[in-house]
Structure 1
């Protein structure tokens, strides 16, 4: 269970020794003189040893046992229950016992409590405590010592460059410590998102740590690795909410005093239930997923760019699996229904609501009694900006459940809500339009896993909606329908094609030709139409943010610092919300603002320059003509904003 000489083994590694010599030579030109080289190398080696002291945990079973005893009593005050599936843990324990290979746990990241929960659960079920990769923002005096005894080790969130602009090759080489842990058959716990989700949806996957794991296996240092995606769901996160950051305020640095105050504050509240779900461990070397098999086989035969891309796709696959396994909690359901099905309010007799969810959502929900409704209580979402942001956070935990169906519904938006069934829809065009929208919203959600095509996902979604009765096949309408402008593939709308959009379309261009196209109509049933509108509303806040960003881009007349542009865009969207112009107040969250800027850079709307360590944005030559900016806006507005 214990690690052996990790620091010394890493320092004696040939790659690390080479990096130390290189850094010593670069930092001290005198190192090349006789008698001075050893002194410079010794100085850099001391620096490397100091880094490694943070990058290596010092697990203490006795301390974990003591901490577990304390946490169980604290959690009894915080939560109503912590729910785990006994069969899942037995499955993990069996895999850990029978296969003599390291195991890597890859959870979604919702709260700082995630670290403690997984360690406590595994330790209580006699499964080896993992070494936990934590951000160095948690390396706080006193607290860092405790974290390291629980299995935590600290790494930089970003591989910062040195003062002269070069990459920090010394620090990068020291990540060999992770390979050493794997070589010693230790278990790891890695958070692919890198930071806690501020939106309720998974953050963008980062493949850095996973790449190290894959490299360790591909170089033959270890025979195999067992990967365990882990889903974690909270009725209510212990941090309360992230409204401060979503309102554009800088994140507060962690401190021992802040943590102590937070624990005291938590003791006065209850946060409902927590559920932790462990997926079936799978071998990174031998797996049924063709994508991962192909990745392992060609990892070292293809160019570096493709290797990086494959690892990113692998991280997406695992993160999607972990998110899919996360339980849906009562607060998620209530928040979603109130925002997108009963935004104007609903009587309790109509909505079979979980009362404890209303209690947990607190000030985010208004409960009133109406005398003209036989004294029935009406519940409605609070319309304050912080309340909408918080409800949106919990509602987004359901986003992955409905997203493919919702994009299909949104892609039908050429037809007004009062005439949804009046015109037939070409299934092929509907799927292609949905594929275009999903590519446009690539920074908001991953619709298709890497081993499945986007067209197959949407074909399944259409089939599902037909099975629900929401859509039905209009056999009598088989004539050809002319496409509307919004149905045109995105690259054809501008003089300069956006290459990132067309790759998959080319690859799967014959998908629709494999079967006869058919025409669909939306059911006239009030229940089905209500569900169809609900699906459209799920995506509407995101589209409203992007349409606002497309309007705001007209104001960019000269280059502007990216930070200033992002802040001004945020103020613009927030002002629209505060003045009641925006239909969805949650469209002004700061994470959506940052995603719109990122998407517009990837689309080629905005061109990025970096000078004197400042990133500036300006309109690209393609979008300098107002006509093309208007086309961008019209493309977004071509989808319903209900």
Structure 2
């Protein structure tokens, strides 16, 4: 939509007012911020910076030295040792192939031909090491940063209405970098767009914070753009480090590890995407800890005194990269190319994408994290991510994640996993809610069949009230204007708008698989926030059905059987385990059962679940105060150990039914169940498809294709009401779960992943049915089973 059209509809001025309000709340629009233009020491009557603020801003940004790392890496003794190891490995492989059994330390020196061959291999490995390093290295350059910054000031307003940052967060980063100049900052953004690479550097540079070296996939080494990214700090990493399955590329791993370590030693800040790649679903991905482990190792072997981890949350009102519908439907990703990049830039510059918001969360010290994990062992009995032993972690060079992985230290692995999960959890919690996230979430959970715009606006008011104080809202103003603005931004391809005979506007999601998958991308930003409530609500309804069946009662009567709090929490914990690879539901330092208790109290307070009628009893006020205290503690982010569990009359989890269905909020209950329903249906489809593996093996790629086709058929026939259940990512996550449960065994056959049923499940089809039944417990009951 053009700017003139925005003005004509009155929403342009509304967004201007919203921007002004967010600015008053302590945020800045970087596209309008030029602190160096026309300010001291440059300020005078004739200061040209007043008339050319963007040029002055870019020329006057603080200059940092960015020493090249590659020279130090080449001379590192670890690299020389790795070159020799790689050469010796190749010699051994060639001997095996030729059935020769010469002793490397003895016969190799005596056999002239063998020695010559070894020397040739050694020389080729040295050349390969140099090529790897030249392809990997960054050429971060201050003058290129200045030029790119000026171009971004000119180009970004063409397609973004603002790049919003929080003033206090920037000041915190400045203080952290100035207070300990030798301590590197490690920026860990959640990855949504290729634009993320440049925008973090753009914001840091224009706030006089040292630009980071950025780990980028080597698929971005395309003509022109690859060189540009390299000059802006990118160092390129192979998407697949070990090209041969079951064989580690010793040389590549060693160079990557030493490149990162020397970068840290030279006080470079570093940025990498802890999820590995861009999220295809809109929610955070499970973290990958390879690069993080190198940074932790650098601290533990005293290469650096400390490092500050900075979780970064990035969000867009409309995703600049388009969508990931093809990949979610199982189609291959189109590889990056020069012409694809040019086409994408042209399309972007001629489109409108609304606001971009970047939040820099509170930095935390690796030194303090390691010390805290050495001292404290916390975690739910079912979800212990890190459980240190009584002895403290000791660094061993052979346990590095990249080079020297011949010995695996489980304590080190779990430490890295704990830190990385905490980073992703914090990033997800701190991600600001964009207007399009809120609208998409409402359309897919409450108004899938459409609704009046005024009703959607009322629901948005309710959503904003529920999120107040817990999630930062990146929009402000009248909800009806926000609904119309967001619908325009998402476009008619995702949400249709029609007017009835009374002139009232109706909104409805486009009922195509492609549209609903894309809409779910925006909705899923809010899914993790409501995941625990959704698990509880689904579990509650499932338990009600079981109770009703046991007692042969009518589920639509007022005297429906209740559920005990203990049974609900225990069943919800089991259902959370099903989603362990889909969501990070809690920090490693939190107890999941405590968070479930708090979420349950919120459902009770919101009248989604009813307590027994005890209004006349004196203990009821005490119980209400306990619930209020728990929720208040959650809002104030108090440590979980301080939460007070709600237990009627002081008893420990009375197993008598004490939670009942509220018939007054059935629509809202259904909406909460809808949050996880698409994921549930995907998992259920995977479980049902296991039968084709009975006494049979199948390529993982073929099995995923089979499941996606199966879900697509169910969507077309109406058996599955959620088109966004067509999700390759969720299918893969479910396969990880089934492998963890030993339901599946995954083996490599010449680089191809082969699926077979586990030993306990290949003997009988009945054993597979138990898995189907277990996963069925996270599927919301159909509308005919409960009074929805």
Q: TM-score, normalized by length of structure 1? A: 0.89
Q: Does 1:52 align with 2:181?
A: no
Per the alignment, residue 640 of structure 1 pairs with: 780
How many angstroms apart in 2 are the aligned matches of 1:149 and 1:566? Answer: 40
1:309 aligned to 411, 414, 431, which one? 414
Per the alignment, residue 485 of structure 1 pairs with: none
How many angstroms apart in 2 are the aligned matches of 1:162 and 1:444? Answer: 28
How many angstroms apart in 2 are the aligned matches of 1:241 and 1:419? Answer: 45
How many angstroms apart in 2 are the aligned matches of 1:216 and 1:255? Answer: 35
Give the CA deviation at 1:360: 1.6
Instruction: Verify the 8 A CA contact 1:2 1:59 in the aligned structure 2.
Output: no
- The alignment covers a number of residue pairs equal to 606
Per the alignment, residue 252 of structure 2 pairs with: 171
Change (3 A) 1:187 1:5: closer
Gaps of 5+ in 1: 478-509
Task: Give the secondary structure class of the aligned counterpart of 1:378.
Answer: strand
Structural mapping, 1:102-501, within 5 Å: 102-162=184-244, 166-175=247-256, 176-287=258-369, 290-291=372-373, 297-300=392-395, 304-352=409-457, 353=480, 354-362=483-491, 363-371=493-501, 374-414=502-542, 415=544, 418=556, 422-474=560-612
Per the alignment, residue 49 of structure 2 pairs with: none
2:653 aligned to 493, 498, 517, which one? 517
2:760 aligned to 622, 626, 629, which one? 622
Task: Give the secondary structure class of the aligned counterpart of 1:141.
Answer: coil
**1:205-236 Cα shifts (integer Å, max 9, x gaps):** 00000000000000001100011000011111
Change (3 A) 1:418 1:12: farther
Task: Give the secondary structure class of the aligned counterpart of 1:431.
Answer: helix
Give the CA deviation at 1:369: 2.1
Q: CA RMSD in A?
A: 2.6
**1:622-641 Cα shifts (integer Å, max 9, x gaps):** 22322222222223333424
Instruction: Verify the 8 A CA contact 1:286 1:293 in the aligned structure 2.
Output: no
Task: Give the secondary structure class of the aligned counterpart of 2:756.
Answer: strand
Instruction: Verify the 8 A CA contact 1:105 1:190 in the aligned structure 2.
Output: yes
Change (3 A) 1:24 1:370: same
Task: Give the secondary structure class of the aligned counterpart of 1:413.
Answer: helix
Q: Which moved more, 1:350-359 or 1:226-235?
A: 350-359
How many angstroms apart in 2 are the aligned matches of 1:365 and 1:284? Answer: 45
Q: Which moved more, 1:260-269 or 1:348-357?
A: 348-357
How many angstroms apart in 2 are the aligned matches of 1:615 and 1:260? Answer: 36
Change (3 A) 1:12 1:201: same
How many angstroms apart in 2 are the aligned matches of 1:606 and 1:144? Answer: 40
Change (3 A) 1:141 1:420: farther
Change (3 A) 1:438 1:313: same
**1:540-559 Cα shifts (integer Å, max 9, x gaps):** 11111111222222233411
Task: Give the secondary structure class of the aligned counterpart of 2:367.
Answer: coil
Give the CA deviation at 1:465: 2.1
Give the CA deviation at 1:312: 1.4
Task: Give the secondary structure class of the aligned counterpart of 1:231.
Answer: strand
Give the CA deviation at 1:27: 3.3
Q: Does 1:24 align with 2:106?
A: no
How many angstroms apart in 1 are the aligned matches of 2:240 and 2:646? Answer: 41
Per the alignment, residue 635 of structure 2 pairs with: none
How many angstroms apart in 2 are the aligned matches of 1:74 and 1:321? Answer: 31
How many angstroms apart in 2 are the aligned matches of 1:162 and 1:611? Answer: 11
Task: Give the secondary structure class of the aligned counterpart of 2:747.
Answer: strand
Per the alignment, residue 488 of structure 1 pairs with: none
**1:345-389 Cα shifts (integer Å, max 9, x gaps):** 111121214211101221111212223xx3322111111000110
Task: Give the secondary structure class of the aligned counterpart of 2:222.
Answer: coil
Give the CA deviation at 1:299: 5.0
How many angstroms apart in 1 are the aligned matches of 2:488 and 2:67? Answer: 50
Instruction: Verify the 8 A CA contact 2:745 2:755 in the aligned structure 1.
Output: yes
Change (3 A) 1:604 1:512: farther
Change (3 A) 1:424 1:288: farther
How many angstroms apart in 2 are the aligned matches of 1:543 and 1:421? Answer: 29
Change (3 A) 1:376 1:597: same
**1:24-61 Cα shifts (integer Å, max 9, x gaps):** 23335798556776654343222212211232211111
Give the CA deviation at 1:80: 1.2
How many angstroms apart in 1 are the aligned matches of 2:221 and 2:145? Answer: 18
Q: Which moved more, 1:600-609 or 1:99-108?
A: 600-609
How many angstroms apart in 1 are the aligned matches of 2:300 and 2:647? Answer: 38
Q: TM-score, normalized by length of structure 2? A: 0.73
Q: Which moved more, 1:605-614 or 1:582-591?
A: 605-614
Instruction: Verify the 8 A CA contact 1:544 1:641 in the aligned structure 2.
Output: no
**1:512-567 Cα shifts (integer Å, max 9, x gaps):** 999621554346363x3322221111111111111122222223341111111111
Change (3 A) 1:610 1:73: same
Change (3 A) 1:71 1:605: same
Task: Give the secondary structure class of the aligned counterpart of 2:671.
Answer: helix
Change (3 A) 1:5 1:189: closer
Give the CA deviation at 1:340: 0.9
Gaps of 5+ in 2: 1-63, 93-103, 377-385, 400-407, 458-479, 546-554, 616-644, 783-788
Task: Give the secondary structure class of the aligned counterpart of 2:282.
Answer: coil
Give the CA deviation at 1:122: 0.3
List 4+ stretches of structure 1 deviating above 6 A: 510-514
Task: Give the secondary structure class of the aligned counterpart of 2:443.
Answer: helix
Task: Give the secondary structure class of the aligned counterpart of 2:132.
Answer: helix
